[in-house]
Structure 1
Amino acid sequence: MDNGTMQYLRIYDQLRYEHSKGKEVTVTVAKLAEMLYCTPRNVKFVLRKLEMLGWIEWKPGRGRGNGSKLRFLRPPEEVLELRMQNLLEKGRMSEALDLIAETGMDDLVKTRLWSQFNVYLGLHSEPEDNQDCDVLRMIRYRKMERLDTSSVYTAFEVYILGQIFDTLVTYESSSGKFLPKLAHRWESNTEQDRWTFYLRKGVRFHNGRLLTSSDIRDTLLRLRRKNSPALRLLTDIEEVETPGDYTVVFRLSQPNPFFLHLAGSLYMAVVPPESDGQDIPIGSGPFQISELSEHKLSLRAFEGYYGYRPLLDRVDVWFMPNMETGERTYHLSEADQVEGSREVDTDALCCRYLIINFRKEGPHTHPDFRKALRLVYDRKLLVEELGGDRLAPAASFLPQFSAKSAIESGTLAEAATFLRSSGYGGQAIRLVFTDKKEEWIEANWLRRRAEKIGMDLELCPQKPSEGYIQAEEGELAISSEVLEDDWELDLLNFFLNDANCLNRMLGDEQRERIQELFEGFMMKEEQERLKTFGLAQRLLDKENWLLFGAHTSHRAYFNRSLYGLRIGSFGFPNLSRLWVKGEDCGCSTDGKH
């Protein structure tokens, strides 16, 4: 926030009790100096500046005992809006974002400021080097987590890293097959404990260096050096050989028919050694980072990309962690949502659930308490009564599995009986969840039902700006799991990754029982692997360690001038395929962008 705006707001705030609309306030220069933490001489400069802006009227007092008179000509919210408009007209969007974040005004004022900011987002065509530059501007309502393939956890960061980095192969969900990526061909021996990949020639990193087989080996060494949580999935790899610049051989300790899933995972995305320690990651993907700060991420199409160059020239992502909404926004204004955009609901592989924290002692871990909670958290009623983004009751992380399951409901009277037999004494049970609309709705619904049987749930929302949810801070937590296109790999990672919500909440005994199910998992063929997933999910469901809630959808708004719209993993669009229909674009900010 600039000094003039900040000084005006500070004076207004200090004198607001003495000021009423249109009336003068008696105040001395010395008093103003105290408010502004400056000298009386500097106060006079400030007053002159504010007068020139037309924000105040100042009448200096004449003689001893005659105080000076100050009249405020603009309400503070109007000053903020004028400043916002000025910043946006000059293209100083980062400062405009800071203005919204730093203002001490109420949420209504912040929303009005945000509406102004929103008009300057969306899809634009900008002149650049005598050519039109197509720019998509997106909004995120939480802070950016660290962009590191070795430890990435949250969905949006996985999505962005997938634009920056490439893997040896890629999984195509529609066919269930693996397709070439950095490797144009691969093969394994009969035992499937030796996998050979043949790399494309001429692939360059964003810094211009050619990719070779040594970069594949160095990527695995990097994961080991950083003690990545992915190492649990990669324990079969004994050695990586590089017999030539464009050939890489993985020697495994045992047969592994699942190995292509690992080769296509983001953890194994190729990271050049020179990228380590850099603020901006370097990859070989279709987009490269041109700007990265607390409030903004800019991706620019990589002109040296070995595949098809993205049709968009730039993607700007702005982070607004204090302006939460349940929708992803790819548009300019509210009017544009109706007139110039289309609403897209995607049935991503997403499941919201309630999980028990076995790391904390208390009645919530008792089997009968968990049975009572299962009846209170009735997944059928959850969908019927709340609707919203809830598509269907869940008995699994995957809709196709849930559809085959017999989901039964009980009564609150039965829940009350279980609660009494659990030894529950009426103490507060903390329920942690993300401070978002749909989770608030669900938490309040659950609290009201719990009250009917004498269970006291204390709601503990966590701001999205705090990063991913710290579920272990409560006895219970509402959380979600969104699976990528290669859901087998993602679900395996969910069960085995020590850093995720499940393993942070389960006790040692529960974790051991789950890990026993997955022994030798990668040696199994597909049908046997599916059985293992079924056993693991039924164990969670039967023991009420994790209470499945509902499969959910993602909603986003896309401008009608965006073509090539294909929704990929996590319900996000495939940026490489998006393009802009020229006649629908312009440099104006009239909401048709």
Structure 2
Amino acid sequence: MDHVMRQYITIHDHLRNARPGGEEEASVTVAQLAELLHCTPRNVKFVLRKLEEAGWIVWVPGRGRGNGSKLRFLRSAEDVLELRVRSLLEQGRASDALDLIAQSGADEGLKARLWSPFNRYLGLHSEPADSQDYDVLRMIRYRKMEPLDTSSAYTAFEVYILGQIYEPLIKYDAASGKFQPRLAHRWEAGERGDRWTFHLRKGVRFHNGRLLTSADVRETLLRLRRKESAALSLLRDIEQVETSGEYTVIFRLSRPNAFFLHLVGSLYLSVVPAESGEGNLPIGSGPFRVSELSEHRLSLSAFDGYYGYRPLLDRVDVWFMPNADHDLRTYHLSEDDEVAGSRQIDSPAQGCRYLIFNFHREGPHHRADFRRAIRILYDRELLVSELGGDRLSPASGFLPRFSDPSALSSGTLEEARDLLRASGYGGEAVRLVFTDKKEEWIEANWLRRRAEQIGLRLEPCPYDPALGYPQVDEAELAIASEVLEDDWELDLLNFFLNGINYLGRMLLDEQREELLALFDGFMREDADGRADIFARAQRLLGDNNWLLYGAHTSHRAYFNRSLYGLRMGSLGFPNLSRLWVRGEDSDGEAAGKH
């Protein structure tokens, strides 16, 4: 942020209360300003001179004993900030302008004005760097920055970014249904299936330049245990990890585990360097390294030492603006806002949006008739036909493959009214919590209007994810979504077992015990056996109306038209390693870069 402008805003805001009636003139001494700006009186005079030259203030020094100095403001702090942002954009310094907005503390109305000219500066751009083009992708996220930690990854974007930084031993390939080598080039199981050996590639380096060895794989699991990661519910069969030389790792399990390769390919077991300390930049061995990390900005730079193919992009800059207006028409990924002149890409998501009851709250939802009434209100076929948007098809399970059309019958509003009456509902408010996203707002208000028709007081309560779960815990009902990655079996198993998501927080202990009992022998089953367990678990939730499936959804993203190599992943984000920018030849025609 421009230093002199920051000082102007500091002075302007500090003296705001000292100006009676909001006048633009205040009495202040050089000594007071020196204390405010944490500098010497001599430097204060230098700052004042700079501000006068910029035409932002008039400074009238006091003459004689008892005559204080006067400072008159010619520009509001908001005007100065807006001028500076536009100046930076005109100079081609969009990154600096975004940093300035992020650090300014501007309110939402001002941010809306500041971001209005940004459309053409976001997306993918080539920047001159020495003798070559430097391709940079700029993105804005309207959420807070989440901790980049493989032991606690939760949000889809966090998982996506961590997947660019870290590498697992192997990776599930959805197209072939097989596991592909990554850090391990070969692996084999013992005869009983309780001993697995992985042989590591040689020459793989972490972002700090150190060679990756088997000790790092062992330490990765020990780190999860030290941090008491939720992933341990998946990894409880691992009794010991042994190293046999620098490039061989042996996992010894407490029992045979036919599902073990899925676990080894998870983000949780992506290899972290043994010396990884708290508070440092995340260090992995993936295609991108973290070059900058702050509350407002994340920069990923292509890792030239990557063992695989170097990314075609050189850098990805992400700004986090959690208090932003979500309807701003700025270029960004995976939010449902159209950007003029961009390509729209839609892809089906593996998962669905649903309602879930919070059984830790007292209320009418503890009665089966009440939940059946809500099931009728939350009509899956009407959701799709009346609301459209990202809703593709009605859901009776988390994945389309689990959705049986014969299970979609709902009922009439008259039937819902009778069930509500039979439940003993007394007219009390039922709070419906949801994240402050466009499609969830639409769904919440649609459901509220339907509830009014049967005499149910449903109160939509949007919440700020930055403030965490307490807001969710205080509601009786929540709108949630579950989106699964390519290895959907692993993700769905984690959904049922991890205990920290909506399902884990909202069901009572006895409900969870009944659900988890279904998974006792899951990891010894073959694919058909595992599919049967998943189906029974989803029926348990649906038949009891503990969770109400809504609609299967799609991902929607808008991309700059010069952006090529787009391959949308299961979470709705592009593969950053494959993206590249198409330049123009001397005749103005698109020309590919090689």
| Bin of the TM-score, shorter chain as denominator length | 0.7 to 0.9
Give CA deviations for 1:66-97 in whole Å, capped at 9, x if unaligned: x9999986576543320222345484846754
Answer yes or no: is the 8 Å Cα contact 1:4–1:49 preserved in 2. no
The 10-residue stretch of structure 1 (71-80 or 482-491) with the greater mean CA deviation from structure 2: 71-80
Aligned partners of 2:372 and 2:416 also within 8 Å? yes
Give the superposition deviation at 1:584: 8.0
Partner SS state of residue 124, structure 1: strand
Structure 2: runs of 5 or more not aligned = 587-594
Aligned 8 A contact 1:125 1:134 in 2? yes
1:271: Cα distance to partner?
A: 0.8
Deviation of 1:59 after TM superposition, in Å, equals 9.5
Measure how far apart 1:541 and its partner are.
0.8
Structure 1 residue 385: Cα displacement: 1.5
- Which residue does 1:591 correspond to in 2? none
Contact 1:137 1:315 in 2 (8 A): yes
Is residue 3 from structure 1 mapped to residue 2 from structure 2 by the alignment?
no
In structure 2, the CA distance between the partners of 1:3 and 1:18, relative to structure 1 (3 Å rule), is: closer
Determine the C-alpha separation between the residues in 1 that align with 2:533 and 2:427: 39
Within 5 Å, which residues of 2 pair with 1:77-476?
Answer: 77-88=78-89, 89=91, 91=93, 93=95, 96-99=98-101, 102-103=104-105, 105=107, 107=109, 109-325=110-326, 329-330=331-332, 337-339=339-341, 341-402=342-403, 404-466=405-467, 470-476=471-477
1:350 touches 1:483 (CA, 8 Å); kept in 2? Answer: yes
SS of 1:127's partner is strand
SS of the aligned residue for 1:137 comes to strand
Give the structure 2 partner of residue 480 of structure 1.
Answer: 481
Tell me whether 2-11 or 235-244 shows the greater mean CA deviation: 2-11
User: CA offsets per residue over residues 83-112 of structure 1, 9 Å max, x none?
Assistant: 2223454848467545466455562x3212
Pair 1:536 & 2:537 matched: yes
Moved more, 345-354 or 44-53: 44-53
Q: Give the Cα–Cα distance (whole angstroms) in 1 for the partners of residues 425 and 29 of structure 2.
A: 59
Q: Deviations over 1:315-365 (max 9, x none)?
A: 11111111243799448xxx99433x2111121213111110011122122
Q: How far 1:208 moved relative to its partner? A: 1.4
Given that residues 350 and 553 in structure 1 are in contact (C-alpha distance below 8 angstroms), is that contact kept between their aligned partners in structure 2? no
Runs of 5+ unmatched residues, structure 1: 20-24, 586-593
What SS is found at the alignment partner of 1:81?
Answer: helix
183-192 or 466-475, which deviates more: 466-475
Aligned to 2:589: none
User: Which one is further off, 264-273 or 342-351?
Assistant: 342-351
Paired letter, 2:299: S
**Partner SS for 1:338:** coil
Asked whether the equivalents of residues 462 and 469 of structure 1 are also in contact (C-alpha less than 8 Å), the reply is no
Structure 2 counterparts to residues 518-529 of structure 1, below 5 A: 518-529=519-530
- Which shifted more, 67-76 or 176-185? 67-76
String of CA shifts for 1:278-307, please: whole Å, max 9, x gaps: 421111111111110011111111111111
Out of 520-529 and 244-253, give the one that drifted further. 244-253
Separation of aligned partners in 1, 2:339 and 2:506: 40
1:547–1:4 CA distance, 2 compared to 1 (3 A): same
Q: 1:154–1:436: structure 2 CA closer, same or farther, 3 Å change rule?
A: same
Is the 1:395–1:405 contact (alpha carbons within 8 Å) kept by the matching residues of 2? no
Structure 1's 524 and 322: CA in aligned 2 closer, same or farther, altered over 3 A?
A: same
Provide the rounded CA distance (Å) in 1 between the counterparts of 2:45 and 2:585: 51
Contact 1:143 1:466 in 2 (8 A): no
Deviations 1:97-152 (A, max 9, x none): 45466455562x32120123454332121222432211111111111111111111
Post-superposition offset of 1:4 = 1.8
* Amino acid aligned to 1:440: W
Which deviates further from its counterpart, 67-76 or 275-284? 67-76
Distance apart, 1:391 and its partner CA: 1.4
Task: State whether residues 215 and 270 of structure 1, in contact with CA within 8 Å, keep that contact through their aligned partners in structure 2.
Answer: yes
1:68–1:286 distance in 2 versus 1, CA, 3 Å: closer
Letter in 2 for 1:338: A
Tell me the SS of whatever aligns to 2:112: helix
CA distance in 1, matches of 2:69, 2:330: 51
Conservation of the 8 A alpha-carbon contact between 2:115 and 2:330: no
1:590: which partner in 2?
none
Letter in 2 for 1:112: R
What SS does structure 1 have at the residue aligned with 2:584? Answer: helix
The amino acid across from 2:435 in the alignment is T
Q: Distance in 2 between matches of 1:279 and 1:182?
A: 23
CA RMSD in angstroms comes to 3.4
Query: Does structure 1 retain, via aligned residues, the 8 Å contact 2:26–2:72?
Result: no
Structure 1 residues 256 and 45, CA gap change in structure 2 (3 angstroms): closer
Q: Is the 8 A contact 1:432 1:461 kept in 2?
A: yes
Q: TM-score, normalised by structure 2?
A: 0.87
Range that drifts further, 415-424 or 567-576: 415-424
Residue by residue over 1:215-262, the C-alpha shift from the partner in whole angstroms, topping out at 9 and shown as x without a partner, is 111111111121111111111112222222222121222221111100
The one-letter amino acid paired with 1:219 is T
Equivalent residue for 1:589?
A: none
What SS class does the counterpart of residue 326 from structure 2 fall into? coil
**2:584 paired residue number:** 583
